[in-house]
Structure 1
Amino acid sequence: MSGRKKSRTKAPQEPRRNDTPAADTIPTPSLKRNSVLPLVDIGSRAFEEVCRDLMRQSYPDLRPVMKRRGGQAQFGVDVEGFNDLQEPEVVVSAKCYKDIEAWEFRAWIEDFTKHLDGHWKGKDVREFIIAVSIERDNDDINDAARELARDLKVRGITFRIWDSVEISEMLGKDPRLVDRYFNEAWVRALSSGFDADPTSGAGALFSTRGISASQGAILTQLESLYVGSTRCCPRRWRRRSQTSAGASGPR
C-alpha cells in the first residue's frame, strides 16, 4: 500500500531585516580613482547615519531624525525629515547588504506602503527614498521601482532610489563626511575630480580633524625652503627691495 505524500506549504520568504555589522577595517581604493564607496563595510548603523547626513545635505530645510529606537515600530522607515509643521515630509528606508535580491527589494518597499492607510495617513509624506548599498543594475529591481513610483504618484508621493553610485557622488561633495565614515584615502579618491573652491570645506587641502603626519611633513619642508632662501641670499633680497623702492620713487 503506497502512502500519499503530504503536501507541504512553503512559508513565505521573509526579507532580511537584521543589521549588517561593520567591518574591522575599511578597505582603501583599489584603483587610482575609485568612485564607489564600500558602503556595506561601514555596517547598518553607520549607513543609516549616512542617510541622515545626506538628507541634511539634500534637504537643508528639513530636520533629519533617525527612527531607530529600541522596541518601537519603524513602519518601513529608518530616517524621517520633518518640516516646519513637524510633518515627516521625506522618509528614507536604508538597507545595507552586500547583495540584494529583487524580491527582497519589493518586500522592503511593502514594509512602507502597507502602512500608508494606517500610520502614515494624514502625516503628509511627500517623498519616499529607499537607500541601498549596492549599484542599481538589476532589471527586476528597476521594474519594481517603476511600479512603486507609479503607485505612489497617485497618492502624491515621489519615489526615489539612492544606490551606491549616487550615495558616493553625494558624499563626495563633502569630504568631511567621507573622512568621518571611511578614511583619508577615500577622500582623495572622491575629491580628485572636483573643481572645488580651495577656501571651502569641500576643497580644503587638509582635513577638518587637523593635519596628518604626512601633511605636517610637507608644511615643514615648505617652511624650510622659504626660510633657507631668505637666509642664503640676503643681498639679493635687499637689492630687489632697493630696486623696487627706486622704481616707485619720483622721476
Structure 2
Amino acid sequence: MTSRTNTKYTEIQDVQGRPLLLDFWVSPFCMRVKIALNEKGLQYEARPKDLFGGKSELLLNSNPIYKKVPVFLHDGKPLCESTIIVSCIDETRSSPPLPPPCSYGRAQALFWAYYIDKKVFDACGNIWRCKGEVPLEAKNEFIEILKQLEEALGDKDYINDDTFRFVDIIAISLTSWFFSVEKIDELTVADHCPNFPSWMKRCLQRECVAKVVPEPEKVYELVLMFRKIQGID
C-alpha cells in the first residue's frame, strides 16, 4: 500500500462510529473480514444480505463488478474482495500485526493467501455440487490442496509461523465447509492430513474466530438446501 492509501484508511469509522460490512453468515469470505476486525478489536456493523431474495441496491452499487459480498463500507467508500479488505484492515491498527514482520514472510503470506483463494473453495464446490457419486478427480484435487497447506503448516502452530496471522485468517473460515465435503464424499480430512485438524482446533479456540465461524452442521444444512434448489438431490 502506498502512503496515500494508508492515509485514506487511517480510520475506518463511518458517521455512526462504525464501519459497515455487507455480510452473509455462511460466506467464508465474509467470515475472514469479521475475524480480522475482531482480532484487531475494531467495532463494526455486519448487515446481513439476502442473496436468495434478490440483491439489494446498496450491494449492487457498492460492488457493481462482481455483485457479491463481502463489501466493506467506510464513509460511503466501498472495499471489495475479502483478501484486499483484510489487508486494508491491518493498516488501520498496528497491533496485533497480521502479516509476518519480515518482507520475505509477507511475500510468502501473500503467496499462500492467493493459493487458498484460487483453490480451496472451488475444490469444495466441485464435491458438494456433484450429482451422484463424486468423481475421483474431484476428491483427489481437494485432498492434494489440503496436503499442500499441511506441508506449509509443518510442525508450526500456525501456517506462517507460531503466531495466528494473515494466512490463518484467510484459511480458517473455509474449514467450516469441510464437514459438508466429508458428508457428501464420505471422506475424513484427518485421514489424509493428520496435522490439519489440530491447526483448525487451535484457530477455532480463538475468540476472534469462535464468535464468527458457524457450526459445520449449520453449513451442511445450507449446502443441502443449495443442492435441492439446484436440482442435485
* The two structures share one fold, judged by TM-score above 0.5: no
* Structure exhibiting the larger radius of gyration computed from Cα positions: 1
TM-score (norm 2): 0.28
Structure of higher RCO (CA pairs closer than 8 Å, 6+ residues apart)? 2
Could you tell me the TM-score, scaled by structure 1's length? 0.27
